[in-house]
Amino acid sequence: MPIKTVGFIGLGVMGASMASLLLGGGYDLTVYNRTKEKAEPLLAKGAKWAETPAEVAASSEVVITIVGYPKDVEDVYLGPNGILEKKKGGYVVDMTTSSPILAKRIFKEAKAKGIAALDAPVSGGDIGARNGQLVIMVGGERQAFNELKPLFELMGRTIRYFGEAGAGQYTKMVNQIAIASGMVGVAEAVAFAKKAGLDVTEVIETISGGAAASWTLSNLAPRMNRGDTAPGFYIKHIIKDMKIALECAEEMHLELPGLTLAKRLYDQLSARGMEDCGTQTLIQWYMKQ
């Protein structure tokens, strides 16, 4: 039978938009967030409120989560009043960028209770979440992926299945390695253009049509140029992601000097009190030397 009831946990910069798309898609939506005020716009549109993750799970065929850190994921799924405490059958989907090891653990514990678990982290930031244009990378059982694809299609434009539990998270680490190292290159390019006295807007538009083209250059370099530090993705979260990726790389005996440099620069910005700024704020490391 078609899925009708969906629970959504985590209504931050991306989660609120993703939940709104599901509500607009006709699903009966129940939501939970640590701060209830962030749920108010969705409640005004017809979503239901739950007091705990367990309460969301009890009333939803599918529960989707996108929270901050692996510890938050662990608490939401496995802690007291967590999702797996009350969930009976159905599906759970963690869209947080989290640990592949934790994704495998949740899959195993969910399966023991007759629940299909997917790890499905996303890329695309606040813009992609608002427009339903996210990239969604999925690990878990293919049958569950196929059954939930209509939900993913409301939130994303590129949806790929990569294999067993944890594969989605490993793929997201590939994405974050490319983004973090690439952000260093874009920030350096913008800083250089500024120091050279060029019209930075013209430079960005020009080189975006050639081999330097990238999503970061087109979407975040203009924010760098105008000093916009608003978060589409927080510095504190890219630091978390880089830490996970470096831990995975260490297990693989793989050195990642580009990622190591990017983490060091972001760590320095965080130490300046910028952890809640957007990742494009890396430009300030160069402009305030």
Which domains are delineated in the chain?
5-165 (3.40.50.720), 170-287 (1.10.1040.10)
The reported pLDDT for the residue numbered 289 is 59
> Alpha-carbon distance 283 to 123, whole Å?
21
Whats the size of the chain, residue-wise? 289
Instruction: Name 94's bridge partners.
Output: 65, 119
The reported pLDDT for the residue numbered 28 is 98
The reported pLDDT for the residue numbered 124 is 87
Q: Whole-model pTM? A: 0.90
Query: Residue 240 CA to chain centroid, in angstroms?
Result: 11
Digitized pLDDT (tens) for each residue of the chain, 289 residues in all: 689 999 999 999 899 999 999 999 999 999 999 999 999 999 999 999 999 999 999 999 999 999 989 999 999 999 999 999 988 899 999 999 999 999 999 999 999 999 999 999 999 888 899 999 999 999 999 999 999 999 999 999 999 999 999 999 999 999 999 999 999 999 999 999 999 999 999 999 999 999 999 999 999 999 999 999 999 889 999 999 999 999 999 999 999 999 999 999 999 999 999 999 999 999 999 998 5
The reported pLDDT for the residue numbered 47 is 98
Type of residue numbered 100: P
> Alpha-carbon distance 173 to 263, whole Å?
14
The reported pLDDT for the residue numbered 13 is 84
Closest to 191 in 3D by CA, of 277, 265, 276 = 265
52 three-state secondary structure: coil
Instruction: Name 46's bridge partners.
Output: none
Dihedrals phi, psi of 172, to nearest 5 degrees? -65, -35
**Catalytic site positions:** 172
> For the purposes of burial, counting CB atoms within 10 Å of the CB of 7, is it exposed (0-12), middle (13-18) or buried (19 or more)?
buried
CB 139 within 8 A of CB 114: no
